Structure 1
Amino acid sequence: MASSADTVVVLDFETTGLSPDHGDRAIEIGAVKMVNGVIVDRFQQLMNPGRKISFFIENYTGITNGMLQDAPTCEEVMPDFAVFIQDFNLVAHNASFDARFLRSEFNRIHRQQNEPFACSMLAARRIYPDAPNHKLSTLVEYRQLPSDGNFHRALADAEMTALLWNAMLDDIQTRYGIEHISFQLIQELTRTVKNAVPKYLSRAKQHRKYS
């Protein structure tokens, strides 16, 4: 499994609701595979959850019941996605949400989810504490990243998260001079108290622990 923070799979789920523990299911998966910061592959698929989705979800995502009617089931899609993410670390914006759905859908095909996750939202809270908030759309505007303004479709959100992820890695390199940023560094950064972030990153460079 690649250890560099710029070699990852960035993923996003659209779902019927907020929690698989309450019976919610995935209705779309989108992901981009990045190697050395460059997108080299994409994965996108609608998934029929086996029941109607609400008007709210239709309006929020732009995914309609008609679009899902003939889509494959999650059980059909997830084996292909397991192959797509194999040997890669994972990134998502609000990763706890996506990780719960990934584990839930993998459980249905008797597959364990063992790939490490990092959360771009938690990382952004440490790198961009002055942003108005840390929603993906806000951060894209705050960081002045190119965007067509389309959000809440899985592949579009995964691609924007990938752009944000690369921007954060660039900003860490520029501010703190850490030439090589490992995936572990970002994981530990997201667990670091906000006011201790500058000291943490300066110490990481000084000790050359992650470079």
Structure 2
Amino acid sequence: MKSTNADKLVILDFETTGLSPLQGDRAIEIGAVKIEQGKIHSRFQALMNPGRPINAFIENYTGISNQMLRTAQSNEVVMQDFADFIEDHHLIAHNASFDQKFLDAELSLINRNYNGEFGCSLLLSRRLYQDAPNHKLGTLVRYKNIAADGNYHRALFDAEMTTQLWLAMLDDIKIKTGLTEVPFSLVKKLSKTPKAQIDKLLSEQ
């Protein structure tokens, strides 16, 4: 059953061969964290072989080598497993438009889909943390004093850091509103509200 709360969902991150599946780019790694009632329930991580080599820029950017991908399972196999992992949960990513287009593209190739809605931690952070230096994941992790020990641009680490940021944002929403549970619908509304109107929206909850 799909949750209406923002503390029960799947937070995911893709590493890819490039910027756009419309240009033929494919996913090469998926990392995801499932949270239930604000606690980490389970994790999913897998490299996937897109069937062709990746370029030197992507190898250097991600630390994922062609040698690592040669022994990985195919995108089709991994994405079947990931579609099962998602279940009916809502989905979150940092800069969700990027990850959503790759998720949609990869799942369409195996005729799978998801029933949850997508939310974006980047859009929410821009509303809640308007005085942050910028809204890159690493900057926000430092801004919120979240412990980080790992390598950015690897999918599971980025998903783990996004999870900790997401839970911190939910806590801050609770403090500002007095709510004990944050509805997913409120998160979606906040993400689309002009920055100047955020305090008014929070005070009305």
TM-score (norm 2): 0.97
The residue that corresponds to 2:51 in the other structure is: 50
Unmatched runs of 5 consecutive residues or more in structure 2: none
C-alpha distance after superposition, 1:146-169 (max 9, x if no partner): 111521100000000000000000
User: Conserved in 2, the CA contact under 8 Å of 1:102 and 1:113?
Assistant: no
What corresponds to 1:31 in structure 2?
32
Match of 1:185 in 2: 186
1:160 aligns to 2:198 (yes or no): no
3-state DSSP of counterpart to 1:27: strand
| Counterpart-to-counterpart distance in 1, 2:57 and 2:131 | 31
Which amino acid counterpart does residue 202 of structure 1 have in structure 2? S
> Residue 173 of structure 1 aligns to a residue in which SS?
helix
User: Partner of 1:208 in structure 2?
Assistant: none
C-alpha displacement of 1:39 = 0.5
Matches within 5 A, 1:141-152: 141-152=142-153
Rounded Cα–Cα distance in structure 1 between residues aligned with 2:26 and 2:116: 20
Aligned-pair Cα RMSD in Å: 0.9
Question: What is the aligned length?
Answer: 204
Aligned to 1:209: none
User: What are structure 1's unaligned runs of at least 5 residues?
Assistant: 206-211
Q: 1-side partners of 2:182 and 2:137: how far apart? A: 22
CA distance in 2, matches of 1:47, 1:154: 12
Counterpart of 2:98 in structure 1 is 97
User: Matches of 2:41 and 2:181 in 1, distance apart?
Assistant: 20
Q: The residue matched to 2:169 in structure 1 has which SS?
A: helix
CA distance in 1: counterparts of 2:51 and 2:130, whole angstroms: 41
Shift of 1:197: 0.6
Distance 1:183 1:74 in 2: 30
- Deviation of 1:188 after TM superposition, in Å, equals 1.0
